[in-house]
Amino acid sequence: MIALIDYGAGNLVSVRKALAAAGAAVFTPATPGDLATASGIVVPGVGHFGATRALDGSWRAALGERLAQATPLLGICLGLQWLFEASDEAPGLPGLGLLPGRCFLLGTMPRPDAPRVKVPHVGWNALARRAPSRLLEGIADGAQAYFTHSYAAPITGDCVAVTDHGGPFASVVERGLVFGVQWHPEKSGEVGLALLRNFAGLAARTS
């Protein structure tokens, strides 16, 4: 069973539906203790980084325990940003800190040749593969996915796919069993379902 954490950051109807379409059994944990039975964990979320404040110390501790037991974790959109140390959107509020780096506002990373872009970044954009990835297995390099966000994660050693909007950012991250996508697999057609199937497969293998 994949645990889909509902911490009040956006509506989960679409994510739940897409995980089911990808063949995963899904439940929503009521308390951090409920994560004990999860074979995989999804942290979704749209909106302000401050919303992750709801994922308090007990959720962090429970997630840490599951990761130590080799349970795969997938962050989607705001969930990906939360995997990092912090975000300029809510300075002073720590992220989960599993991945080094600080999220930034799109268009603020200096790059002289970048054309002026609209923020939020809304729509379909390409995923340029940067490193081998289990999460992206079977998904073509350059495939397009649906984004809607204003802040993004930096490109670090954990970045496996890059997308460009007023400068490059990490659109897929992967480090061990910690995964993240800045885009919405539940809204990205066949590309998104393929990614969720890959994650469900990783969860099934480790349970």
* DSSP secondary structure of 156-177: -TTEEEEEESSSEEEEEEEETT
Give yes or no: 103 in active site: no
Tell me, rounded to whole angstroms, the distance of Cα 189 from its chain centroid.
17
Task: Examine residue 126 and tell whether it contacts another protein (CB under 8 A).
Answer: yes
Give yes or no: 174 in active site: no
Q: Is the peptide bond before 44 cis (omega within 30 degrees of 0)?
A: no
| Candidate residues 121, 136, 180, 200; the one interacting with another protein per rule CB under 8 A | 121
Task: Examine residue 207 and tell whether it contacts another protein (CB under 8 A).
Answer: no
In angstroms, the CA 130 to CA 70 distance is: 25
| Candidate residues 67, 105, 114, 146; the one interacting with another protein per rule CB under 8 A | 146
In this structure, the dihedral spanned by the alpha carbons of residues 11, 106, 131 and 66, taken in order and rounded to 10 degrees, is -40
Closest approach of another protein to the CB of residue 176, in Å:
28
Structure tokens at 195: 């990614």
| Candidate residues 1, 67, 105, 193; the one interacting with another protein per rule CB under 8 A | 193
Give yes or no: 184 in active site: yes
In angstroms, the CA 205 to CA 3 distance is: 16
DSSP reduced 3-state for 35: helix
Q: For the window 75-114, what string marks contact with another protein as x by the rule CB under 8 A?
A: ----------------------------------------
- Amino acid found at 34: D
Number of residues that bind another protein (CB under 8 A): 33
| Positions 4 through 43 that interact with another protein (CB under 8 A) | 9-11, 13-14, 17-18, 21
Structure tokens at 153: 């994660």
Q: What residue ranges bind another protein (CB under 8 A)? A: 9-11, 13-14, 17-18, 21, 46-47, 117-126, 144, 146, 148-149, 164-165, 186-190, 192-193
